Structure 1
C-alpha cells in the first residue's frame, strides 16, 4: 500500500474510531485524524507481531480492522492523558 493510501486509511480509521468511542475526547477533528494515522501504524505493528497480518491491501477487511482497532487504542490513551491534565 502506498503512502497516500496508508494516510487515507488512517484518516478514515480515526474518524470511525471517534464515532465508536463513547464520551468526549479532547482535541478537534485534526487531532483525531492524526491520532487515527498513528493508530493505523500501531494496529499494523500489533497485527504483524501477534497475528502475522499487517496492513497490506487497502480493501482488505483485516487491514481495516487492524487500523480501526489501533486508532481506538490510541484515542483511549489520548483521552486518559488529556483527562488527567485537565484536572
Structure 2
C-alpha cells in the first residue's frame, strides 16, 4: 500500500509544483508524478538532515520541504525533458 501513497503524493506534489512554476511545463502527467515522488524524497531527506522529519502533529516544515523539492525537480526535469525531446525553448 506504500507504493500507492507514493504515487498519490507524487501526483499531488507534481501538480502543485507545476502550478507554482511560471509558464507552461511540457512534461507528461506520468513524468510529473515521477518528479513529484523524487521531490517528496528530496524534501524528506532535507527535513531529516535538519531534524524536523518527525514532530508531534502535522509536519508543516517537512511538507514545505517536499513542495520546494518538487518545484526544483519539476523545473530541472522540464528543461531536461525539453532538451531530450528537441523542444528547446527560445527566449
Query: Taking structure 1 as the reference length, what is the TM-score of the superposition?
Result: 0.74
Name 1:68's counterpart in structure 2: 67
Name 2:11's counterpart in structure 1: 11
Name 2:20's counterpart in structure 1: 20
Name 2:76's counterpart in structure 1: 77
Cα RMSD between the aligned structures?
Answer: 2.7
- Structure 1 gap ranges (5+): none
Count, aligned residues: 85
Matches within 5 A, 1:28-67: 28-49=28-49, 51-54=50-53, 59-67=58-66
Q: Retained in 1: the 8 A contact 2:7–2:33?
A: no
Q: Which has the higher contact order (CA 8 A, sep 6+)?
A: 1
Give the superposition deviation at 1:65.
0.7
Is the alpha carbon distance of 1:11 and 1:63 closer, same or farther for their aligned partners in structure 2, counting shifts above 3 Å?
Answer: farther
Between Structure 1 and Structure 2, whose CA radius of gyration is higher? 2
Is the alpha carbon distance of 1:62 and 1:9 closer, same or farther for their aligned partners in structure 2, counting shifts above 3 Å?
Answer: farther
Cα distance in 1 for partners of 2:7, 2:81 equals: 24
Query: Taking structure 2 as the reference length, what is the TM-score of the superposition?
Result: 0.71
